[in-house]
A and B are shown apart, each in its own frame.
Chain A
Amino acid sequence: MKLMPCPLNGLRNISEFVCGGEVTEMPPAVTASDSDWAAYVFMENNAADVVREWWLHVTSGYWFIAERHTASDEILRTYPASELFPKRFDFEPLDDPTEDQGGSD
């Protein structure tokens, strides 16, 4: 079984972890086109290359980033998510909330 170097818990069996898929950037939540959103939700790059992935150490509830070569399965580097996401993220507010689809407050 493979070993995963967790930035919080050290070297652990990979069965203690769950892969959360490639780190991708969400398109602008309000203004993205349908096709952009569909691509974000459904399309995977699936590159045979070094890929940044989300990994969760399940029992400690810790998400971090791993850079892994998807062809050799070699894990090159792992680090806390704060390295990629250093500060608070806020969504652009709606211009005209009534234009949104369906529902009510």
Chain B
Amino acid sequence: MRLAAPFGSLIDRDAPVTFTFEGRTYQGFAGDTVASALAANDVWLISRSFKYHRPRGVLTMSGDDGNTMVQVGQEPNGLADILPIHDGLAVMGQHYSGSLVADRDRWIEKFSSFLPVGFYYRAFFKPKGIWNFWEKLVRAKAGLGRVDTSTPHGYYDKAYAFADVAVIGGGVAGMAAALEAAKADVEVVLVERQPMLGGSLNYTRIDVEGTSGPALVQELLGQLRAAKNITVMTEATCTGWFTDNFLPIVVANRMVKLRAGQVIVATGAVEQPAVFRNNDLPGIMLGSAAQRLIRIYGVKPGQRAVVACYGGTGYGVALDLLDAGVEVAAIVDLSATPTDNPRRQAAVDRGIEVLQGYGLREANARRDGAHLAGVVAAPITGNGELADEQRAIECDLLCMSTGWTPAASLVAHAAGEVSYAERSGSFMVRAVAKNMQVAGAVSGEWVVDAAIEEGRQAGAAASGQDANPVPVPRAPDDRPPQPWAIFPHEKGKEFVDFDEDLTVADIRNSVAEGFGDIELVKRFSTVVMGPSQGRVSALNALRLVQSHAGRPLEGARGTTNRPPVTPEKFGHLSGRGFEPVRLTAMHDRHVEADAEMTVAGAWIRPAYYGADREQALQDEVMCVRNNVGLIDVSTLGGLDVRGPDAAEFLDRVYTLSYARQQVGRARYVLMCDQSGTITDDGVACRFSDDNFYVTTTTGGSDAVYRTMLLWNAQWRLDVDITNLTGGLAAVNIAGPNARAVMEKICSEVDLSAEAFPYMGVRLARVADIAARLLRVGFVGELGYEIHAPAGMGEALWDALMDAGAEFGIKPFGVEAQRILRLEKGHIIITQDTDGLTHPHEANMAWALSRRKPFYFGRRAIAAQMKRGLTRKLVGFTLAEPDGPLPEESHLVVRDGEITGRVTSIVRSPTLNRPIGLAFVAPDQSETGQSFSIKGHGGRMIEALVAPVPFYDPENSRQEM
């Protein structure tokens, strides 16, 4: 039922909203949450519990519990108590079979004695294989909500923000902190997870009349509006603290990453439930939840209420209930003696019966089991003990104002110290990290004026002002310890953790099993591991563990608190889901030419051109062998090494010798790491005495560049290294007609074999584009690599295709290139080598200089060779050329032992037979020796070691 204004500060009664729950249509108002709107329609059963399928409803109304988890379309586990409604919203309960009201899985609770704590660990452990029997049932019954794997990726994004001072929590302490910090002319961000500032003063009653709280909020809001340098974020949740005050702030579908110089944590406190039999029935909620329903949402939380409390706050709840037209049957005050509090007197004056020194024995359910029908109270005779005499009170609402625990997650993330204090009967922040302050209820300050003063001081300190501290009035320390609101019952069902349906007995049994530490109990029993992450269970769980284990409570810590504070969606973490790729300058030309594109490291490259792969590869390979082809090789790395020590530098980095390399010549480069493993290759082109242009493999340029920079930071050679990769486009024109095509568009240099021989390099303009020309031959034909500025890549491509048109030039892709190079026996680093391949294994001893005292890997290669070769890379053909082909990574097997593996294999279009490279044992590596490859289905395929190159062994074609 709705209450008249001024109750319902957040709802807009002029804006009705229609939504459905469990298929039925309901009406609420703009500003309502799913739970508040349902409560206004007298619907209190919202969800079912995880283990026993018990009916659950509103507990905190602040998103701090997991009792109201609902499914909204494809999205599971929404929290109905904070999920705003909008027109057309379709909400379903979770975790039931059939219907929420008549859940067919309610029988599970009857078997609760067969589901002891640690059930999973015991039940499915023995005998071997029993899990296979149970798995189907468990998988069907366990888990929260339904995941729909066809859910599309919604729009989520990220933003970055910076602040000198970030204040987390917009209650009065946080507001005061922000206002004070802002006086120092620094940038302040105030983050509040609710739609409005004011924190607990939006619903708590701090005086008899209930007026001073709202007035105080209005005053502070006025000051905030006047402050220029405070950015206020509402409906914004700070979900964690990360090093150096890096704070994720979730706002709708955005994650703001806020970097703050100082953080003031003013996150308040979370009210704690009492533990007694059937304490989870719908209708039993925190006092603050009832007040939120009344004041924020204008909802009457019940007809006849009982309030359980320790003095103060609960009497405010009782007065609010009376004002809202709720009959208050009794106040069960757990304190042994009355407190001197005006609100208590007002409640008594208004005729409410107070049961002083009473506790709660149990709650009773309505006939249908789905709502509270009454409670049984009894005098407290000791901690957790009740007298036999008892009072049964009919009620449909029980408000629990039975203590608070600081919402200190952020403090804990920052490695501050949070531990139990007997003085407050709760957790207490005892130390905070550098560049962090706490203020208000999170630091244990419950008195409003004192919380404001504490906020003010925190704001001053965080903004570097002279704090000018006024002593903060503290609650007196002489208060006797209050009895716990934990009342074990002989029939159980006193829930400590609602998420996991864990009772007092479960915690006790965990300790009895030998798990005497809260961290161990957590892992064994799953206490505080559920969706509410201990916010409403950690305090009582720690009390029980420590008392059963006979350990002191004072100074005891809860379980380690890790981000996120409240659930984040995967969408928030992934953001817009960028998957950056690199496109070459000629990308559009490839697409226009119907190229099938493939991923090569960070790049997208043409695999082949046309629809028919087999035909395309055949045509592309034969065109290069017999005519002329063009391939985009922009993905190769290009590094400029310049300076008097350039040659000396390359000598240290690469295995060959570069000091005497002639200007205008290219030389192969092979890089190893310090353990002798081959890591990269390319060519070094000497364009002047002090300038080399060095190419790297696709994907290798960044690593090679970093390695070069790292070592020259130590060697201090007079050399500059520049990574040109992204700035250059490159093509390789190859085939017997390559020179004829080039001569049409490059007249500056004499392209004849005599003037510009194989392994020559030139600077020249091609089609009027300034370029580096490299006569190198990865594919084994007469060819030129042309490296030009990326901005001219497309023009260069077009010019070559135009010039080659009369010859029938064809573009070829990376797959044809891989075939062509294999025909020549050229290895691809990381395909034909692995993380242990040293040059001798790959037949590259010829590339190791004997004259240099150092190159990467030199010392390690020497050490390895003392131990002899253990494998060797060889070329091979198949004994049955028309038989089945093994695949790359298929094993070479001899007498049941693995001696190697296939690294490359292809049916050569040029030679019309299978050719490949494989690692084999050294004693199977002689030409003509046969070895066996274990192919598909275990079929052994006989291979013969063959000399490489397979094609043009004299290398005459590339030197034409």
A interface, CB within 8 angstroms of B: 1-3, 18, 20, 29-30, 32, 34, 37-38, 40-42, 54, 56, 61-63, 73, 81-82, 85-89, 91-94, 97-98, 100-105
Contact = CB atoms under 8 A, between A and B. Distances in A.
Contact of A1 (B242, B848, B853, B865): B242
B244 A1 contact: yes
Contacts of B723: 61
B713 A29 contact: no
B141 to A, nearest CB: 40
Interface in B164-189: none
Contact of A100 (B657, B710, B862): B862
Interface stretch (B557-565, B591-599, B714-722, B765-773): B714-722
Contact of A94 (B655, B709, B851, B861): B851
For chain A, what secondary structure do more than half of its interface residues adopt (helix, strand, loop), or is it mixed? loop
A56 B861 CA distance: 28
B150 interface: no
B674 A41 contact: yes
Nearest to B723: A61
Contacts of A34: 863, 866
A3 B527 CA distance: 35
Interface stretch (B85-93, B229-237, B789-797, B839-847): B839-847
Nearest to B674: A41
B424 interface: no
Contacts of A102: 840, 845, 848, 850, 861, 865
Given A81-B713, A88-B716, 10 more contacts: A1-B246, A2-B242, A20-B710, A38-B860, A61-B709, A63-B713, A82-B713, A102-B845, A103-B655, A105-B657
B21 interface: no
Contacts of B848: 101-104
A94 B717 contact: no
A1 B244 CA distance: 7
Contacts of B125: none
Contact of A103 (B242, B714, B717, B845): B845
Nearest to B673: A41
19 contacts: A29-B853, A32-B859, A37-B859, A37-B860, A41-B674, A54-B710, A56-B710, A62-B709, A63-B709, A63-B710, A85-B716, A86-B716, A87-B716, A91-B854, A100-B851, A103-B839, A104-B846, A104-B848, A105-B657
Nearest to A88: B716
A79 to B, nearest CB: 12
Nearest to B863: A34
B858 interface: yes
B851 A97 contact: yes
Contacts of A85: 713-716
A103 to B, nearest CB: 3
For chain B, what secondary structure do more than half of its interface residues adopt (helix, strand, loop), or is it mixed? mixed
Nearest to B160: A13
Nearest to A34: B863
Nearest to B721: A61
Contacts of B854: 29-30, 91
Nearest 7 A/B pairs, CB to CB: A103-B848, A81-B713, A2-B243, A101-B862, A29-B854, A91-B853, A102-B845
Contacts of A54: 710, 713
Interface residues of B, number: 42
B706 interface: yes
B706 A56 contact: yes
Interface string B690-712: 00000000000000011001100
A86 B849 CA distance: 29
Contact of B244 (A3, A18, A101): A3
Contacts of B846: 103-104
A91 B648 CA distance: 11
Interface of B: 242-244, 246, 257, 259, 652, 655, 657, 674-675, 705-706, 709-710, 713-718, 723, 839-840, 845-854, 858-863, 865-866
Q: Most B CB atoms within 10 A — which of A2, A88, A103? A: A103
Q: Most A CB atoms within 10 A — which of B713, B716, B862? A: B713
Contacts of B858: 29, 100
Contacts of A93: 853
Contacts of B847: 103
A24 B851 CA distance: 26
Contact of B243 (A32, A73, A89, A100): A73
Given A34-B863, A63-B710, A103-B850, A82 B716 contact: yes
A54 B713 CA distance: 10
B45 to A, nearest CB: 43
A34 B839 CA distance: 18
Contacts of B714: 81, 85, 89
A101 B865 contact: yes
A100 B715 contact: no
A105 to B, nearest CB: 5
B850 A100 contact: yes
A94 B651 CA distance: 14
Contacts of A97: 850-851
Contacts of B852: 94
A1 B240 CA distance: 11
A63 B852 CA distance: 26
A97 B293 CA distance: 88
A97 B706 CA distance: 30
Contacts of A94: 851-853
Contacts of A41: 674-675, 860
A81 B862 CA distance: 30
A87 B715 CA distance: 8
A24 to B, nearest CB: 11
Contacts of A105: 657, 849-851
Given A81-B714, A102-B845, A104-B846, A38 B246 contact: no
A71 to B, nearest CB: 12
A61 B707 CA distance: 10
A89 B716 contact: yes
A103 B849 contact: yes
A101 B859 CA distance: 9
A1 B243 contact: yes
Nearest to B705: A61
Contacts of B859: 29-30, 32, 37
A73 B866 CA distance: 42
Contacts of A87: 716
Contacts of B652: 91
Nearest to A61: B709
A62 B863 CA distance: 33
A92 B840 contact: no
Contacts of A82: 713, 716
